[in-house]
Amino acid sequence: MIEARRLHILRAVADHRTVTAAAAALYLTPSAVSQQLTSLEQETGHRLVERGAKGVRLTPAGEILLSHTNAVLAQLERAEAELAAYGKGEAGTVTVAAFATGIAQVVAPALARLGRSAPGIGIRVRDAEGDASLRMLLDRQVDVAVAVEYRGAPPADDPRLTHLPLYAEPFDAVVPLGHRLADDAEVPLAELSKDPWIGPYPGNPCHDVVVLACESAGFQPRLEHSSDDFRAVVALASADAGVALVPRSALRGMDLTGVVVRPVDGVAPTRRVFAAVRRGAEAHPLIRPVLEALGQAAAGG
């Protein structure tokens, strides 16, 4: 008989590619993870992982078991949801991970809404970048992730997750006050190909949006300065250190002295934001109201 907790460990190893990283995510020791993998191999009668210089990869047998693991764990989430519904689980705490502007845009309004409509549900918020929140969700550190589409992100049909689209917002061009394009109504990205750029670090989903937008305009941005804090990005632009693309919601309430904000000419780069839960958990009586409140906040309702 295969133990479900060992399937959790197999998926964590597949996601993180090293025993050490999987162990850290699961709050276990590497030796405990290795022991559980060995036990799982004994239960199945197959070698499931191969260790190499670059980490751990699944064998063909491991890949087969992983495909069933996603279905089994999703079904267990559904079972928990139905049992909670049967027990009228209308009180409890849901942990939500979201990036800073996502917290301001939808999580905080959803929290306020739930305080009125479902006072038995408590919300615990964790600030995490759009890519980190999905890892936290899959590692069962949080119950809901508010994340951003990016290259390498799990697709909408990922068997581990259920997605709920929330909103999309454009990036605006931010240029110093004395910039040659400061008086233009819109900024063509191609005209910024020779400028120094300020932007998020690689790995931040917004970094991908900026780089892809510039590549579509025919150039690679010369990123001279890096920060994941958009206030720092705007401050550097105001010091004439370069130009930037910043999500529109991140600019709200910000000190824009010394910069000019203009829409991008043509098709604007866009940040697409969604909520995600582990597949099967969307019907949980504590999680379902949270997803509904996030959707209503995103719709402005």
Average pLDDT estimate for 204-223: 92
CA distance 50 to 57: 5
Instruction: Set out the domains of the chain in order of their start, with CATH numbers.
Output: 4-83 (1.10.10.10), 90-166+273-299 (3.40.190.10), 168-271 (3.40.190.10)
pLDDT in tens, 217-236: 999 999 999 999 999 999 99
CA distances from 119 to 94, 111, 235, 291 (A): 12, 10, 40, 15
pLDDT average, residue stretch 153-174: 92
- In terms of pLDDT, which residue wins out, 210 or 129? 210
Contact 18, 55 (CB under 8 A): yes
- Strands 49-52, 92-98: pairing is unpaired
| CA separation for the pair 41, 24 (Å, rounded) | 21
The two tokens of residue 216 are 């579509």
Mean pLDDT (whole number) for 148-168: 88
Asked if pLDDT for residue 301 goes beyond 60, the answer is no
Rounded to whole angstroms, the Cα distance separating 120 from 283 reads 17
Q: Tell me what percent of the residues of the chain surpass a pLDDT of 90.
A: 52
Residue 57 confidence (pLDDT): 86
Query: Does residue 284 surpass a pLDDT of 60?
Result: yes
Residue 85's pLDDT band (boundaries 50, 70, 90)?
low
Kindly state the average pLDDT of the residues 118-147. 90
pLDDT of residue 67: 85
Q: Across residues 99-103, what is the average pLDDT?
A: 92
How many CB atoms are closer than 10 A to CB 254? 16
pLDDT tens across 24-40, in order? 888 889 888 888 888 88
| Global pTM exceeds 0.85 | no
Distance CA 256, CA 31 (A): 52
Tokens representing 235 are 């401050």
| Mean of pLDDT over the chain | 90
Q: What is the pLDDT of residue 70?
A: 82
Q: Report which of 123, 60, 63, 71 is spatially closest to residue 97, judged by C-alpha positions.
A: 123
Strand, helix or coil at 273? Answer: strand
Strands of the chain (E only): list them.
49-52, 55-58, 92-98, 121-127, 144-148, 161-176, 196-199, 222-226, 244-247, 259-262, 270-278
N-to-C CA span, the chain: 49
- Mean pLDDT, to the nearest integer, of 230-258? 95
- The confidence band for 247, taking pLDDT boundaries of 50, 70 and 90, is very high
Per-residue pLDDT at 198: 98
Is residue 60 predicted with pLDDT exceeding 70? yes
Which tokens in the block code for residue 29? 């020791």
Handedness of CA 91, 93, 97, 100 (dihedral sign): positive
> What is the structure's pLDDT at 34?
87
* Structure-block tokens of residue 249: 């919601």
Q: Assess contact for 96 and 81: CB atoms under 8 A.
A: no
